[in-house]
Amino acid sequence: MSGGMKTQRVTIHTLRQMKERGEKIAMLTAYDATFARLLDEGGADVLLVGDSLGMVIQGNDTTLPVTLDEMAYHCRAVVRGTKRAHVVGDMPFMTYQSSVAEGMANAGKLIKEGGCHSVKLEGGAQHAELVSRLVAAGIPVMGHIGLTPQSYHQLGGFKVQGRETGGRERLVADALALEEAGVYALVLEAIPADIAREITEKLTIPTIGIGAGVACDGQVLVSYDMLGMDETFKPRFVRRFATLGTTIKDAVGQYVAEVRGSTFPSDAESFAVTEKQAPQSPLYSTVAKK
């Protein structure tokens, strides 16, 4: 047995303590094991297997087509890639809106089959009963209010929320109702910064903002957006911390040129019959995995 210290997994209790200590929470989306490992090793506290995968992975215009089985598949991959981050699985559109019983069964499936550590669902006070039943069943729930992308058609598109008359009061009431029902954290998406500040001050659970200003207890971004995978997509609330889209295209261009010019592969990247290695030596050196 190895004598090394096992990495402590971030839990919903860690996140609450971070708010109490005034430590900001860094959350990112993840959809596969390789990215999850990089984001985990980079220090992200929470990885959300967001239904945004319907857009950035599947290429749809909205998150609406994503299924529960697809979410479970991506959750399994992300969990396998992590050691420290808390992994949240998004409940897809129409897997919890029609009844509490259906929401319970589907959240249970995401935890059992996806292996994620908690679930996230969109919407306010209307989901209070479902949230309290899930929490009573031992399933931690992250809430999500403001711009809720599953209501794309109802909202008339991806738009900042809460500016209309009564909007602030409605958002505050939804936040308080969800906290009361038992959510352990709340995503605030695309709402004015001063409303997010008010909600953050009123709640004892952490708020995680996306396009909701700096006062939130933490921030979340779609990893593909903050890594600059798509040079044409740069909404105001996204900061690009890398330009991987350009880096990848440059690398592919270089590869294509070297294949065409017969400079790849070199002799060192090829095999010879006469080498001293055993004929059936492994193709890859096994770098320590986990």
Binding site for ligand KIV (CB under 6 A): 29, 48, 50-52, 90, 144, 187, 189, 210, 220, 222
Q: Could you please report the per-residue DSSP string of 14-43?
A: HHHHHHHHTPPEEEEE--SHHHHHHHHHTT
- Least distance to ligand KIV, CB of residue 105, Å: 21
Q: Are 196 and 181 in contact (CB under 8 A)?
A: no
- In the bound state with ligand KIV, the residue whose beta carbon lies nearer, of 130 and 150, is 150
Which residue minimizes CB distance to ligand KIV? 50
Bridge partners, 48 (sequence order): 29, 88
- Least distance to ligand KIV, CB of residue 56, Å: 8
- In the bound state with ligand KIV, the residue whose beta carbon lies nearer, of 52 and 82, is 52
- Least distance to ligand KIV, CB of residue 223, Å: 9
- Least distance to ligand KIV, CB of residue 27, Å: 8
Question: Tokens for 217?
Answer: 């207890």
Q: Could you please report the per-residue DSSP string of 94-143?
A: TSSSS-HHHHHHHHHHHHHHH--SEEE--BSGGGHHHHHHHHHTT--EEE
CA distance 85 to 60: 28
- In the bound state with ligand KIV, the residue whose beta carbon lies nearer, of 130 and 222, is 222
- In the bound state with ligand KIV, the residue whose beta carbon lies nearer, of 36 and 273, is 36
Q: How far is CA 111 from CA 10, 35, 68, 114, 213, in A?
A: 17, 21, 11, 5, 31
- Least distance to ligand KIV, CB of residue 80, Å: 19
* Region for 208 from its dihedrals, namely left if φ exceeds 0, alpha if ψ lies in -120 to 50, beta otherwise: beta
Which residues are identified as catalytic? 189
- Least distance to ligand KIV, CB of residue 287, Å: 31
* Region for 190 from its dihedrals, namely left if φ exceeds 0, alpha if ψ lies in -120 to 50, beta otherwise: left
A 10 A CB-CB count for 131 gives 29
- In the bound state with ligand KIV, the residue whose beta carbon lies nearer, of 186 and 271, is 186
- In the bound state with ligand KIV, the residue whose beta carbon lies nearer, of 29 and 128, is 29
Q: Are 145 and 174 in contact (CB under 8 A)?
A: yes
